[in-house]
Amino acid sequence: MQPVTPEPFIELLNRASVHADQLYMLIDTGTQPGFHDRWSVPLERCTDPWQYLYYHTEFAHLCPVSPLLLQVQDGHIGNDMLQQLEGDRWGCLFTSPFDLNTLLAHWQSWLTVYLPSGQEHLFRLYSPRILSLFLQSDYIDEEDRYRLTHPLRDIYLPAGEHRYHALYHNPAVASPMLPASGWFHVEDELYAEINALYREEWLADLAVELFQLSPLTCMTLEHADVLRGLSDGLARAATYRHSSDKLRKAFAFAQFLYGSRFWQLPQFEHEVHYGSLRDALYELERRPDWQQQVREAFHDAQWLEKLQQEENA
């Protein structure tokens, strides 16, 4: 499953034809600015099999932002599209002997998963980073990995300049097994691995959001210090029960907005103990008296410097 030397597009087509397979692409259209403005009319006019991944699902109303599944043939729209896609995180290519409708149903069965919190959530399995992790992680059951791969012969990831890495080869292709969408449960360890893939991007986005929320707080800080402080807050928040991504973000922001050790405020601890982290953060946001006590007794003006020292130790 380790990537090898990138291959040109024509080699993928030739390999597919040897097995009488078809070559398909699965595109995360959200990674491509103006994708639907550029391609919606050509897609409606083309005769190649294609469909939106959200088609005939509970997310059908989101088809304008849906991933796209398309059969790729040399000289057709799929080839044109591949040459104009930006970056190398737009999705994947794969070969299979099955028709597009069969493969659409297969990928739709992976459309949502259950997170450790029990919430059903859209799952971007077609993302190159997540797909690579799924095929290699120690926290994926082999039976689940087999469910994903058994109707696919080869899986390729974009490597730039119209070339592609061979990520996976399946010598024994079989018909898809179709459990209900949302059947797959992501355990804590796998969830942590997935989050780690996007951690730097998430931190950067949070830094921008924090600046927009409180520019005076961030103006005097180095960008690296903001990222370091956010990372510390997210890690601390993760130690609380039922700490969703939204709550972790609120916790990390609170260190900047109210004080570096706000969670040590006795009233906050009491609210967490007898209520929840959500309740405690809500009360902190609405109680100026709590905020004043935090600033006076639970804030270290050198907390970011100390985090850097710990990082460098």
Give the pLDDT score at 4: 66
Q: Which residues pair with 93 in a beta bridge?
A: 25, 156
C-alpha angle with apex 109: 49 to 57, nearest 5 degrees?
Answer: 70
**Distance of alpha carbon 299 from alpha carbon 292, whole angstroms:** 10
SS3 assignment, position 163: strand
Inter-residue contact 125 to 53 (CB < 8 Å): no
Two tokens, residue 124? 């971007």
Name the band, by pLDDT with cuts 50, 70 and 90, for residue 182.
Answer: confident
Highest mean pLDDT among 63-77, 90-104, 211-225: 90-104
Name the band, by pLDDT with cuts 50, 70 and 90, for residue 180.
Answer: confident
Give the pLDDT score at 63: 85
Task: Give the 3-state secondary structure of 105-136.
Answer: HHHHCCCEEECCCCCEEECCCCCHHHHHHHHH
pLDDT digits (tens, 9 = 90+) for 233-290: 999 998 998 788 899 999 999 999 999 999 999 999 999 999 999 999 999 999 999 9
Does 147 have pLDDT greater than 80? yes
Sketch the domain layout of the chain as residue ranges: 7-186, 199-312
pLDDT digits (tens, 9 = 90+) for 107-145: 999 999 998 888 899 999 999 999 999 999 999 999 999
What share of residues in the chain are helix, strand, coil (percent, to 5)?
50, 15, 35
Element at 296 (helix H, strand E): helix 288-297
Give the pLDDT score at 3: 46
φ, ψ at 104 (rounded to 5°): -60, -45
Name the band, by pLDDT with cuts 50, 70 and 90, for residue 229.
Answer: very high
What's the rounded mean pLDDT across residues 89-113?
A: 97
Report the percent of the chain where pLDDT is more than 90: 84
Does 81 have pLDDT greater than 80? yes
pLDDT digits (tens, 9 = 90+) for 4-47: 689 999 999 999 999 999 999 999 999 999 999 999 999 999 99
What's the rounded mean pLDDT across residues 174-201?
A: 90
Is 0.85 surpassed by the pTM of this model?
A: no
